[in-house]
Amino acid sequence: MKFADLHLHTHFSDGTFSPEELTGHGQRLGFAALALTDHDSVEGCAPMATACNAAGIEFITGTELTAEHNGTELHLLGYFVDTHNEKLLADIARFQAVRQDRIREMVARLNALGVPLEVEMVFALANCKSPGRPHVARALVKAGLCKSLDEAFERYLKKNRPAWVPKARMSALEGVELIHQAGGLAVMAHPGLNRTDDVIPVLVEAGLDGIECFHTKHSTAMSAHYLEIADHYHLLVTGGSDCHGFSKGKPLIGTVKLPYERVEKLKSRAENRGANTGSAATPALDARRSTFGT
């Protein structure tokens, strides 16, 4: 059996592994295909593609966009996106600027609470364009201001805790459109975590392609529930570990193994849209090449 993990993070967002380290774990675990889905970033895709190529693993480009619908936060996975797409890159640059401003504001709130964390330390530790709360948590631990990441989230960073700052988010409908215009497939991430069932029909109407049924934090019952929903709306089914590095001494990659047939279904949908999935060029792809001269 061939397996894939289609939800992974590196240090280009809030993961701790480099693309090379992550690929090494994927190779050790025998994965046939991996997708990189850093938050509001596609920067790690090029080095990850190189590493996967050297390891004999099929690589799928991706990103995880933070979005909302009627005040409910949800994450949208974009697969097979063209990582050179100008609009995607311009919008991602805006989301990253919002993330950086939010870090400054969270640190200002911590300082106002008497927690002497320096913003430069958070940015130095994050060392990426797409920083998030995990970087603030790691900086708090590193500076000796919290004992653990859990304590940092529980005391300060979780929703409605004193240093939490809501994140300005794009609308989910725009997110689906942004992924599509970059040649990608739009997939709702971990619906069981964000409790976004009500939004599914709205996004289906907007062209949602798939739903992440298998995720580390989905129970078996949740996965079964979302498989039924996928069936009902004719959505593609994806899955991944959402590995951010080591968790309780082990990397999360390996906890979710998506059968490769699911990847084949994703690829054929993407190829019908004209995306370059690395398989033999399709007529649609050839047409796009001649149109844009690439």
Q: Looking only at residues 187 through 226 of this chain, which bind ligand AMP when binding is defined by CB under 6 A?
A: none
Q: Please, which residue, 226 or 282, has the CB nearer to Fe ion?
A: 226
Sign of CA dihedral 155, 244, 132, 193: negative
Is the CB of residue 126 less than 8 Å from the CB of residue 10? no
What phi and psi values does residue 8 have, to the nearest 5 degrees? Answer: -140, 145
Candidate ranges 85-93, 143-151, 160-168, 237-245; the one touching Zn ion (CB under 5 A): 237-245
For residues 90 and 68, is the Cβ–Cβ distance under 8 A?
A: no
267 binding ligand AMP? (CB under 6 A): no
Report CA-CA distances (Å) from 39 to 10, 36, 106. Answer: 9, 10, 18
Q: How far is the CB of 8 from Fe ion (least distance, A)?
A: 11
Candidate list 69, 75, 135, 267; residue touching Fe ion; CB under 5 A: 75
Angle between helices 260-272 and 283-292 (to 10 degrees): 50
Question: Cα dist. 225→63, 148, 234, 263 in Å?
Answer: 25, 34, 14, 20
Residues in region 99-138 near ligand AMP by CB under 6 A: 132-134
Site residues for Fe ion, 9-28, by CB under 5 A, read 14
* Shortest distance (Å) from residue 145 CB to Zn ion: 26
What does the block give as tokens for 102?
A: 């939010």
The residue number whose beta carbon is nearest to Fe ion equals: 75
68 in contact with ligand AMP (CB under 6 A): no
Taking the complex as a whole, the smallest distance from the CB of residue 248 to ligand AMP amounts, in Å, to 12
Least separation, in Å, of the C-beta of 150 and ligand AMP?
Answer: 6
- In degrees rounded to 5, what are phi and psi of residue 145? -95, -15
From 73-81, 179-187, 201-209, 220-228, span contacting Fe ion (CB under 5 A): 73-81
Between 132 and 183, name the residue whose CB sits nearer to Zn ion: 132
Closest CA to 237 of 7, 1, 27: 7
71-92 burial code (b ≥16 CB/10 A, e <16): eebbbbbbbbbbbebeebeebb
Task: Establish if 11 lies at the interface with ligand AMP (CB under 6 A).
Answer: no
Minimum distance from residue 271 beta carbon to Fe ion (Å)? 26
The binding site for Zn ion (CB under 5 A) comprises 64, 242
The binding site for ligand AMP (CB under 6 A) comprises 14, 39, 132-134, 149, 153, 158, 167, 244
